[in-house]
Amino acid sequence: MSQSISFLTAAAVLLAAGCGKASTPIGAAGDAASRVYVAPGQHDELYAFMSGGFSGNVTVYGLPSGRLLQQIAVFSQYPEKGYGYSEQTKAMFNTSYGFVPWDDAHHPQLSITNGQADGRWLFINGNNTPRIARIDLTTFETHEIIEIPNSSGGHGSPYLTENSEYAVSATRFALPTPQEDMSIKDGKFGGMLSFVKIDPASGHMNLAFQILVPGYDYDLARSGKGPSKDWSFFTSYNSEEAKTLLEANASQKDRDYIAAVNRKAAEQCVAEGKTTEWKTPYAHNLVGEDGVARTEMLRSQRVLEVGSCPGVLYFLPTPKSPHGVDVDPTGEFIVAGGKLATTIPVHSFSRLQKAIADQAFDGEVGGIPVLKYDAIVAGEVENPGLGPLHTEFDGQGNAYTSVFISSEIVKFSLKDFKVVDRIPTYYSIGHLLIPGGDTEKPYGKYMIALNKITKDRYLPTGPELTQSGQLYDISGDKMKLLLDFPMTGEPHYAQALPASVLKDKSLKAYALADNKDPYVTKTESAVKAVRQGTKIHVYMTAIRSHFLPDNIEGIQVGDSVFFHVTNLEQDWDVPHGFAMLGAQNAELLIMPGQTRTLTWQPQRPGVYPFYCTDFCSALHQEMQGYMRVSPKGSNVPLAWNGGTGTLGK
Amino acid sequence: MRRIARAVTAVAALALGLLYLTPLWHIGLTAPQYPEGLGLHIWINKITGEKPQDLNSINGLNHYIGMKEIVPESFPELRFMPIAVAVLIGLGLLVAVWGNRKALYAWTALFAAGALAGLADFYRWGYAYGHELNPRAAIKIPDMSYQPPLIGGKQLLNFHADSWPALGGWVAVLVLVTALTLSVLEWRAARARSG
C-alpha cells in the first residue's frame, strides 16, 4: 500500500484543510519535557522493542526517554557484531533457498504467561522469506529462526497464544499450494495458516500444523485471550483473488474476511490424523548449548485441509480490506482495522460463539462457513478517520486505533464504541504501541505512534529521512504528545514492558567455565595453532590487553585460517573485538566468556596485522598481533607464541 | 569467676565459631569504570571475590601496574588460622568450665596477642603486595606504591580502596572487647572480695 495511499494522503490533507481543523505546529503538551526527562545515570521505566522493518533488526529503546539502548541483529547480517559472519552464527541465515542474509522484520512479540509478558523471549517474523525468530532476553541475542514452508509474505505473525503455546504465521501473497509452475493468471492459488509450537521450557519452535485456506492475502493476526484463548484470528484482503494491480483489483468488494481458527478443533483433527503430509523443505536454525547455531533441514509438514475438519475455521465478513485484528484485554472484542472502511467494526466473541451455535451462516466460501455480519458485530465506531489500521488497549475500557491516511490516533470506548478523543501523529502512523496494550493486563500510561513518514520533523538528511516514534501520555482523559524520537527503519509493531521484569535477568558475562564451544580455549597455556590440510585452526585467547598467540608463522597463500577467539574476561562490559586485515567478511565482537570464529583467506605473501576493535582498556591500542603469510608450498613451519608454541615473547 | 562471667565467656568463645561462616575482612575498590565496585573477602581459611569474578578482575587489572596475582592457595595463614580459632574456642570453653580467673586473663591476653599478630601480618602482606612490583609493568609511576590501607580508605590511582572488618571481624572485635571487660570486672570483683 504505497501509491494509492500517497494519493489518499494528499486527499486527506485537503479534507483536513477543508474542515478548517487546526493542528498545533509542534503538538507537545506543556509539561512534556519533565515527563520524559530521565536524568543522567538514571534508568528508564520501560524497555521497548521496536521492529527494525527492512533493517531486519530489532531496536531496544528506553521509555519514556526514547533513548536507543541496543540493536539486536535478527534477520540481517550485522558486521559490527560479526552476526551472520562468524562461524557460530552463519547458520542462522540458512533457508530452503540457501543463505538468505536479509529479511523484513515486522512484529515483535514478547513471550506471555497467563496473557502477560513474562520477559523470557521476544519473537519476531521475517516477512520476505517467511521465518520466525526467537530472541533470548537474558542475552538479547537471536537464538533460533524457523522457516515457514508453503507460505509467502509471513506478515500475520508471530502473535502468540495466551501462554505462548503457539506462534502463528499466515500467507500474505497467495501462492500455488504446494508450489508448482503454473500460469499466474489462470492458476489456482492458496494460502496457509501456520501454527508453530513453542516448547514452554526451552522456547524451541517446531511447525505443528498448517491449515490450507483459499488464496486470499492473509494480512495480520491475533490470538485470543481469556474466553477466546483457543482461537486465532487472521485478517485477509483480496478476496477478489486478483493477481495483478491489486491496489484497484483487490479493493472492489465491500467486505473481505477475518479467518477465525478454532485451535482446539484443529489440534483435535491433527491428533486424529486428518492431515495430509506435504514434503516442502524448510530450515530450522537453532543455537545449541555450545553457543553454535546449526541448521536442521526438515522436509515434512502436516497440512489440514478445511473440508476434512469441519468446525476449525469460520470467515467473519469485515469491511473493507481489513488490516489489523486486535483482541481487547477481556478477550471479548475483536477490533478490525478496515483500512479502506469508513467505520471500525468491532466483533464480539460471545456473539461469534452464538452465531456458530445457531448456524447463522451467510453461505460458504471454499467450504468455509461465512458468519452473518449482523450476528457477530458488537458495534461499529463511526467517524474513526481515514484508514484505520491497528488497535491497542489501555485496560480501562478504551481502545486506541492508529489511522494512517488522516495521520492520527482515535480513542474510543469499548462500552458504546464512541470516539472520545483523537490526536494527530507526525506523520502517517502505522502500528501503535501501548505497553502491554495487547495483553490481558495493559501497563498503560504511555502510547507510541510508529510513524512511516517524518518530512519536516527533523533536520533533513538527503532524500532518505528517518522514521520516528512519538510518545504520548494516555494517563488522563485527553491524549498528550510528549516526545518525538527517530527510529531505524522501518518501524512496524513494537512491544514494551516494565524494566523491572527484565533488567535483573540481564546476563553480565558468559561463564567461561560453562563455555562448550568446540574450539574454546580456556587458559592462555592452552593456546595453539593446528594445521589440517589447508585449514589452520588458531585457538586464541583475548584478555586485557593482548591476544595469545599474537604472532603466527607458517601460514600459506591458499590456506583458510580459522581464528577461534575466546574472550577470557569475566568482567562486566568488557567485550573484545577482532579484525584481520584483508578478511573478506567482518569483525568479531566477542562477549566475556564467549568464543567466536572468524575465517580469513590470506591472498598474498607478507605479514598482516590483526587487532582489537573494541576499546577495552588503557592498552587497547597495543592489543594487536601479526600473521606471517608465505607462498604456497613454503617450508616455513607452523609456529606461534604462547602455550607450547615455539615463537618467543 | 562468678557464674554469669563463666556463662558469658562460654558464649563469647562459641561466637568465634561464626568466623567459619562469615568473612573476617573486606577490601572494596571503586573506580569511574567500576561504579558497581570490586571487592575481596578475607576469611580465616580463604580469599574470595565479593562477586564471583572479582578476584580474577582485580588480578587482571593489577597486572598493568605490576602487582602480583593474589593466589589464595599461596597464603599459609589461611591454613593456620582455622586451627588457631578452633584452639581459642576450645580454651575459652575450658576457662568457662574451670572458672579460674587467671585462666580468663591468660585467654584474653592470648586472643589479643593473636589479633595483633594477625593485623601485623596483614600489614606486612599489604606492604609487599603494594611495593613488590614487576619491573616490566606497563604502567610505572615514579615513587608510587599500591599498598592497600590496613584500615580505612585510600586513593590508589583511579581506584578508591576501602579496608574494614567484615561481619566476622566485628564478631572477633566484640568477643575481644567482651573478654577484656570480663577480665576487668572479675579483677575488680576479686579485689573487692580481698579488700
* Range A113-123 average pLDDT: 96
User: Are the Cβ atoms of A544 and B53 closer than 8 angstroms?
Assistant: no
What per-residue confidence (pLDDT) applies to A14?
Answer: 41
Q: For residue A649, what are the CA distances in angstroms to A429, A548, A550, A625, A641?
A: 61, 10, 9, 12, 7
Distance from the Cα of B57 to chain A's closest Cα (Å) equals 6
Distance from the Cα of A56 to chain B's closest Cα (Å) equals 33
Which tens digits make up the pLDDT trace of A283-320?
999 999 999 999 999 999 999 998 889 999 999 999 98
| Closest residue to A572, CB basis, from B36, B56, B139 | B36
- Chain A residue whose CA is closest to B63: A544
CB pairs A-B closer than 8 Å: 23
What per-residue confidence (pLDDT) applies to A233?
Answer: 98
Q: Which of A570, A573, A615 to mutate to test the interface with B (most CBs of B within 10 A)?
A: A570
Cα A127 from chain centroid (whole Å): 9
Which of A300, A86, A125, A114 lies closest to A207, judged by CA?
A300
Q: For residue B62, what are the CA distances in angstroms to A544, A570, B67, B139?
A: 11, 15, 5, 10
* A223 pLDDT more than 50: yes
Q: CB of A543 within 8 A of CB of A569?
A: yes
A623 touches chain B (CB under 8 A): no
Whether the bond into A400 is cis, omega within 30 of 0: no
The whole-angstrom separation of Cα A226 and Cα A87 is 44
Contacts of B75 (CB under 8 A, 6+ apart): B47, B125
* Range A176-200 average pLDDT: 97
Amino acid at A488: T
Q: CB of B55 within 8 A of CB of B92?
A: no
What per-residue confidence (pLDDT) applies to A366?
Answer: 87
Place of cell 603466527: A552
Q: Which of B55, B56, B139, B141 to mutate to test the interface with A (most CBs of A within 10 A)?
A: B56
Distance from the Cα of B151 to chain A's closest Cα (Å) equals 27
What per-residue confidence (pLDDT) applies to A340?
Answer: 87
Q: CB of A223 within 8 A of CB of A166?
A: yes
Q: Using a CB-CB distance cutoff of 8 angstroms, which residues of chain A are in contact with residue B64?
A: 544, 617-619
Distance from the Cα of A545 to chain B's closest Cα (Å) equals 9
User: Are the Cβ atoms of B64 and A543 closer than 8 angstroms?
Assistant: no
- Chain B residue whose CA is closest to A512: B53
What per-residue confidence (pLDDT) applies to A275?
Answer: 96
B138 touches chain A (CB under 8 A): yes
pLDDT tier for residue A489 given thresholds of 50, 70 and 90: confident
pLDDT tier for residue A341 given thresholds of 50, 70 and 90: confident
- Chain B residue whose CA is closest to A593: B53
pLDDT tier for residue A25 given thresholds of 50, 70 and 90: very low
Distance from the Cα of A592 to chain B's closest Cα (Å) equals 11
User: Are the Cβ atoms of B56 and A543 closer than 8 angstroms?
Assistant: no
Distance from the Cα of B159 to chain A's closest Cα (Å) equals 14
What SS3 state is found at A339?
Answer: coil
What per-residue confidence (pLDDT) applies to A490?
Answer: 86
Q: Which of A503, A571, A617 to mutate to test the interface with B (most CBs of B within 10 A)?
A: A571
Cβ neighbourhood burial of A72 (10 Å; 0-12, 13-18, 19+) = buried
User: Are the Cβ atoms of A570 and B139 closer than 8 angstroms?
Assistant: no
* Range A314-331 average pLDDT: 95
User: Are the Cβ atoms of B60 and A572 closer than 8 angstroms?
Assistant: no
User: Are the Cβ atoms of B60 and A543 closer than 8 angstroms?
Assistant: yes
Distance from the Cα of B67 to chain A's closest Cα (Å) equals 15
Greatest Cα-to-Cα distance within chain A, rounded to the nearest angstrom: 87
pTM: 0.91
User: Are the Cβ atoms of A509 and B53 closer than 8 angstroms?
Assistant: yes
* A16 pLDDT more than 80: no
**Residue B156 dihedral angles phi and psi, to the nearest 5°:** -120, 100
Lowest-confidence region among A75-89, A520-534, B64-78: B64-78
- Chain A residue whose CA is closest to B56: A570
ipTM: 0.83
What per-residue confidence (pLDDT) applies to A15?
Answer: 42
Nine cell digits for residue A444: 498503560
Greatest Cα-to-Cα distance within chain B, rounded to the nearest angstrom: 70
The whole-angstrom separation of Cα A15 and Cα A385 is 11
Q: CB of B129 within 8 A of CB of B141?
A: no
Nine cell digits for residue A435: 505497553
Q: Using a CB-CB distance cutoff of 8 angstroms, which residues of chain A are in contact with residue B36?
A: 572
Instruction: Please name the residues between 6 and 45 in chain A that touch chain B, using a CB distance below 8 Å.
Output: none
* Range A618-644 average pLDDT: 96
Distance from the Cα of B140 to chain A's closest Cα (Å) equals 13
| Closest residue to A571, CB basis, from B57, B64, B138 | B57
| Closest residue to A619, CB basis, from B52, B53, B138 | B138
What per-residue confidence (pLDDT) applies to A353?
Answer: 98
Which tens digits make up the pLDDT trace of A557-566?
999 999 999 9
Contacts of A329 (CB under 8 A, 6+ apart): A115, A225, A226, A393, A395, A439, A440, A441, A442
User: Are the Cβ atoms of B138 and A571 closer than 8 angstroms?
Assistant: no
User: Are the Cβ atoms of B64 and A570 closer than 8 angstroms?
Assistant: no
* Range A354-372 average pLDDT: 95
Q: Using a CB-CB distance cutoff of 8 angstroms, which residues of chain B are in contact with residue A507?
A: none
The whole-angstrom separation of Cα A136 and Cα B102 is 67
| Closest residue to A570, CB basis, from B53, B64, B138 | B53
- Chain A residue whose CA is closest to B57: A571
Q: Which of B29, B30, B36, B53 to mutate to test the interface with A (most CBs of A within 10 A)?
A: B53
Q: Which of B57, B59, B65 to mutate to test the interface with A (most CBs of A within 10 A)?
A: B57
Say how many Å lie between the first and final Cα of chain B, rounded: 17
Distance from the Cα of A571 to chain B's closest Cα (Å) equals 6
Which tens digits make up the pLDDT trace of A429-459?
999 999 999 999 999 999 999 999 999 999 9
Instruction: Give the length of chain A.
Output: 649
User: Are the Cβ atoms of B56 and A571 closer than 8 angstroms?
Assistant: yes
Q: Kindly give the residue spans of alpha helices, DSSP state H, lying in A299-458.
A: 349-357, 373-376
Q: CB of A572 within 8 A of CB of B36?
A: yes
What per-residue confidence (pLDDT) applies to A253?
Answer: 87
Which residues does chain B have with pLDDT short of 50? none
What SS3 state is found at B87?
Answer: helix
Q: For residue A23, what are the CA distances in angstroms to A15, A426, A440?
A: 13, 11, 34
A619 touches chain B (CB under 8 A): yes
Burial A448-462 (b: 16+ CB within 10 A, else e): bbbbbbbeebeeeee
Q: CB of A556 within 8 A of CB of A632?
A: yes
* A6 pLDDT more than 70: no
Q: CB of A514 within 8 A of CB of A626?
A: no
What per-residue confidence (pLDDT) applies to A26?
Answer: 58
Distance from the Cα of A576 to chain B's closest Cα (Å) equals 15
- Chain A residue whose CA is closest to B158: A618
DSSP string, A238-286: -TT---S-HHHHTS-SSEEEEEEEEHHHHHHHHHTT--EEE---EEEEE
User: Are the Cβ atoms of B60 and A619 closer than 8 angstroms?
Assistant: no
Strand partners, A543: A546
Q: CB of A208 within 8 A of CB of A221?
A: no
- Chain B residue whose CA is closest to A510: B53
Which of B35, B39, B57 lies closest to B48, judged by CA?
B39
Q: Using a CB-CB distance cutoff of 8 angstroms, which residues of chain B are in contact with residue A570?
A: 52-53, 56-57
Instruction: Please name the residues between 139 and 178 in chain B that touch chain A, using a CB distance below 8 Å.
Output: 139
Q: Which long-range contacts (CB under 8 A, 24 or more apart) does A169-172 make?
A: A169/A125, A169/A130, A169/A132, A169/A193, A169/A194, A169/A196, A169/A221, A170/A194, A170/A218, A170/A219, A170/A220, A170/A221, A170/A234, A171/A130, A171/A213, A171/A217, A171/A218, A172/A127, A172/A217, A172/A218, A172/A219
Q: Using a CB-CB distance cutoff of 8 angstroms, which residues of chain A are in contact with residue B60?
A: 543-544, 569, 571
Distance from the Cα of A288 to chain B's closest Cα (Å) equals 25
Place of cell 567500576: B34
Distance from the Cα of B168 to chain A's closest Cα (Å) equals 27
pLDDT tier for residue A4 given thresholds of 50, 70 and 90: very low
* Side-by-side strand order, sheet with A624-630: A588-590, A576-580, A606-611, A624-630, A551-556, A639-640
Instruction: Please name the residues between 24 and 63 in chain B that touch chain A, using a CB distance below 8 Å.
Output: 36, 52-53, 56-57, 60-61
* Range A197-217 average pLDDT: 97
With pLDDT > 70 as the criterion, what percentage of chain A qualifies?
A: 96
User: Are the Cβ atoms of A570 and B56 closer than 8 angstroms?
Assistant: yes
What per-residue confidence (pLDDT) applies to A649?
Answer: 65
B69 touches chain A (CB under 8 A): no
